[in-house]
A and B are shown apart, each in its own frame.
Chain A
């Protein structure tokens, strides 16, 4: 079978990018292999674990079951693009540190990207809604407890509810 390649041009972490990619390649493979964005993790490669999640045009996707060629014309954000230009952390990254929501760290990039997408909605979610929204990710280290705290506290703080955040 001869290989077919196609030009993908997209924005990755705010920068314009162009690459010839194998039409069968996943977005995970393109981001990891061609752009060396290794925060995009492979835990199952079939959309079960969420370790590869990235934000595409504002919405979070499993990049392992998203073809690289579909990224043409899209804006992609990976964890590497979430911190500021001088390495200053976003609130959700800082919350993951403060709430001890990080252990082995392998699921962390995907979780933070989903949390970032959730927080960008700018509204308050119930506990059940947060759990449902984050349930596309698997983690074996944390029992999800501290991740829950990090997400909920950041959500409340963005809504100016500092006191409620302290009580989470």
Chain B
């Protein structure tokens, strides 16, 4: 058995020797280079674009402007499964190039040149004239009457407003003796910062267009390119090679439609569109900044009587994943600490800023920031220990969600808290750090989270798998679910080997997705792949096994019920005797002069279940109050992600999420110029991504409660590790200083404001 073992990644050798080919490595050198001209105003209309000087630059092939987009095929970009119900379709508000400018960086023209230098020179030589409108950068300003309107169909700039109502909040708050705790909590826009920027190239073959792209969602890209070009989806072929990280940014359709459009305009010539790091920060996607307002009414015994949440999510200029992020975050609120009387309102609001999209955690890191900062304040007001308060109120074992039918089958939260507390020595440190004085203080803080695996029942969950038996008894496996660095291919190989009964070395997972040949699957998002692909693998392996054993029946003269496949052999169950190897059977099957068969199987698993994934973070900090600096001394994440398919890869996945959470808590945020709407720190130098020097050793511990609804007992682990890190750091600073810093990140700028307000700074 391979599930549960830390086998080596299938792609490890290639990746440490430089053999792995990413998009740019595969593109033919004869490709034209495309570069995008971005708007230099935040809101307005392009009146004219003068390309006369730019066109004269040697090496320039053609320049296309927004005025060349004659057929207006508006398209959505979110990496969601398509819905045949128009009510559930994503908002189609993008064009490959736009006359209407909605943020500083919008795409208004494109240069195609023979080389990058000519393209860059041409961009600088283009002269653009705009009609400028007033713009708005803040969600609260954007919803006010008289605010600039960004999209005509969305009055008040509200993309969507959803509510959750349970019990009767207004009545419940009248209960005598309740303590009211209220707070505002805010997280900034941050960027994914995968090290490979987005890149794609496109060319035509016959009447069809092939796009090779650094994407997490090849089958979705195929559909959207078809929509954007107004062509049949079958004429689009999308190829996804190895990619250098995605984290949700590449769960959006980015420049694939524009690149395909340019190629088609140039007779199908090969065109490459390679996005710069600076463009990645501004013109791809960012994590939605969310401002949350929570009011809790608490009984003297430390239980909740009523709670209210309002969340305002900053969508930026275009709908992209839209309200799904705010809705997911807000939807987590009533379940984390179940309470009889709940009011939740979530708003997603357009502003003239870079576009909010999917990013690791999909609204949950923002929601946990608000909920878990608030939890520590409530515990403090009630004079309770923050862990004891959580244990009293957290989602209990046996909790069932009426909508998703999810169930908490184990005492996961308490088990995770126990493991994390032990790993970091919480009890002792918490006591030691109480009531400190002085300018350098230590603190320790806790945060929990829960996260849904996959997207059922909000959206479709489907995974298709193909298995093909080779002459030697080895098997090729194809899935629409993508390897984006997390180690998915390795987990798929382990699951296949176990489900089919073959050796791991005989499982060849085809890493590259090609929509012409790869079975349909929606891709890497929602921490869904191991769970959903696991179902398709289990089902397809059993189909293939049945076909193999049926063929073996004729060769061995044994009934199928007496046969099995073990370690790549056809075994007689009754006495354990190896009757033949799978390779012998497969060769016979392919080359038989009487009964030739190519033994393959393909099937679709539609998954109509979902699974809660749980965990917590505990962080220990040292705060230098006069310097307004936080040093992270120690940190641990504990997760119940069900059965771990590959513990070493799981641990590595948690490290990466913790790192992203540390950045979210301590240093990362995008800044925008109030006067122009321009992004101020869109480079890796100015945007403070965590480096090697910003981390202590990272600890990951696991509780492995097998998930009953899954094929291999596993559930979400891709996104969960980022969800609880930032509020744990904040709560550690809260213990150390008593300052409730409710705006992330806890960088010196924000700490200075808070410490000043609290009178902590020396005169």
Residues of A within 8 A of B (CB): 24, 33, 37-39, 41-46, 48-49, 51, 78-80, 82-83, 87, 89, 93-94, 96-97, 100-109, 112, 131-132, 134-135, 137-148
Q: Does B167 contact A (CB under 8 A)?
A: no
CB distance from B103 to the nearest CB of A (A): 23
Known: A37-B18, A137-B692. A145 touches B655 (CB 8 A): yes
Indicate which residue in B14, B484, B648, B695 contacts A143 across the interface (CB closer than 8 Å).
B695
Bound Cα distance from A134 to B695, whole angstroms: 13
CB distance from B214 to the nearest CB of A (A): 10
Q: Which residues of A contact B21 (CB under 8 A)?
A: 38
Q: Which residues of A contact B659 (CB under 8 A)?
A: 140, 142-145
Bound Cα distance from A37 to B693, whole angstroms: 30
Known: A38-B25, A48-B684. A80 touches B192 (CB 8 A): no
Known: A48-B684, A78-B18, A102-B15. A97 touches B8 (CB 8 A): yes
Which partner residue on chain B sits nearest A93 by CB separation? B16
Residues of B within 8 A of A (CB): 6, 8-9, 11-18, 20-22, 24-25, 29, 117, 192-197, 242-245, 247, 276-277, 484-487, 648-649, 651-653, 655-660, 662, 683-685, 689-693, 695, 697-698
CB distance from A68 to the nearest CB of B (A): 14
Q: Which residues of A contact B242 (CB under 8 A)?
A: 104-105
Which partner residue on chain A sits nearest B25 by CB separation? A38
Q: Is the CB of B652 within 8 A of A146?
A: yes
Which partner residue on chain A sits nearest B661 by CB separation? A143
Q: Is the CB of B245 within 8 A of A104?
A: yes
Which partner residue on chain B sits nearest A139 by CB separation? B195
Q: Is the CB of A43 within 8 A of B196?
A: yes
Q: Is the CB of A106 within 8 A of B193?
A: no
Cβ-closest 8 pairs across A and B: A39-B18, A104-B485, A106-B244, A143-B659, A105-B15, A143-B655, A48-B684, A38-B25
Q: 24 A-B residue contacts at CB 8 Å?
A: A38-B21, A39-B17, A42-B197, A44-B683, A45-B276, A46-B683, A83-B17, A104-B242, A104-B485, A105-B14, A105-B242, A106-B194, A109-B18, A140-B192, A140-B195, A143-B655, A143-B690, A144-B691, A144-B695, A145-B652, A145-B655, A145-B659, A145-B695, A147-B692
Q: Is the CB of A135 within 8 A of B245?
A: no
Q: Which residues of A contact B649 (CB under 8 A)?
A: 100
Q: Is the CB of B684 within 8 A of A138?
A: yes
Q: Which residues of A contact B662 (CB under 8 A)?
A: 143
Known: A140-B193, A144-B695. A102 touches B16 (CB 8 A): yes
Q: Which residues of A contact B15 (CB under 8 A)?
A: 102, 105, 108
Known: A43-B196, A143-B655. A103 touches B485 (CB 8 A): yes
Indicate which residue in B17, B22, B486 contacts A106 across the interface (CB closer than 8 Å).
B22
CB distance from B159 to the nearest CB of A (A): 28
Given contacts A38-B25, A134-B692, 9 further A-B pairs with CB under 8 A are A37-B18, A97-B13, A103-B656, A106-B485, A140-B689, A142-B655, A142-B659, A143-B659, A145-B695
CB distance from B263 to the nearest CB of A (A): 21
Chain B CB count within 10 A is highest, among A39, A42, A109, for A42
Q: Is the CB of A140 within 8 A of B656?
A: yes
Known: A140-B192, A142-B652. A42 touches B24 (CB 8 A): yes
Bound Cα distance from A44 to B197, whole angstroms: 8
CB distance from B423 to the nearest CB of A (A): 14
Q: Which residues of B contact A38 (CB under 8 A)?
A: 18, 21-22, 24-25
CB distance from A168 to the nearest CB of B (A): 10
Known: A38-B21, A103-B652. A108 touches B485 (CB 8 A): no
Q: Which residues of A contact B487 (CB under 8 A)?
A: 103
Which partner residue on chain B sits nearest A81 by CB separation? B18
Q: Which residues of B contact A107 (CB under 8 A)?
A: 195, 244
Q: Which residues of A contact B691 (CB under 8 A)?
A: 135, 138, 144
Known: A44-B684, A135-B692. A112 touches B16 (CB 8 A): yes
Bound Cα distance from A109 to B19, whole angstroms: 10
Q: Which residues of A contact B692 (CB under 8 A)?
A: 131-132, 134-135, 137, 144, 147-148
Bound Cα distance from A104 to B488, whole angstroms: 11
Indicate which residue in A94, A105, A134 contacts B244 across the interface (CB closer than 8 Å).
A105
Bound Cα distance from A42 to B21, whole angstroms: 13
Which partner residue on chain A sits nearest B686 by CB separation? A48
Which partner residue on chain B sits nearest A101 by CB separation? B652
Bound Cα distance from A96 to B16, whole angstroms: 7
Q: Which residues of B contact A131 (CB under 8 A)?
A: 692-693
Bound Cα distance from A38 to B477, whole angstroms: 27
Q: Which residues of A contact B193 (CB under 8 A)?
A: 138, 140
Q: Which residues of B contact A39 (CB under 8 A)?
A: 17-18
Chain A CB count within 10 A is highest, among B14, B18, B22, B685, for B18
Which partner residue on chain B sits nearest A113 by CB separation? B18
Indicate which residue in A79, A141, A143 contacts B698 across the interface (CB closer than 8 Å).
A143
Indicate which residue in A33, A87, A100 contacts B17 across the interface (CB closer than 8 Å).
A87
Bound Cα distance from A45 to B274, whole angstroms: 12
Bound Cα distance from A11 to B246, whole angstroms: 36
Q: Which residues of A contact B25 (CB under 8 A)?
A: 38
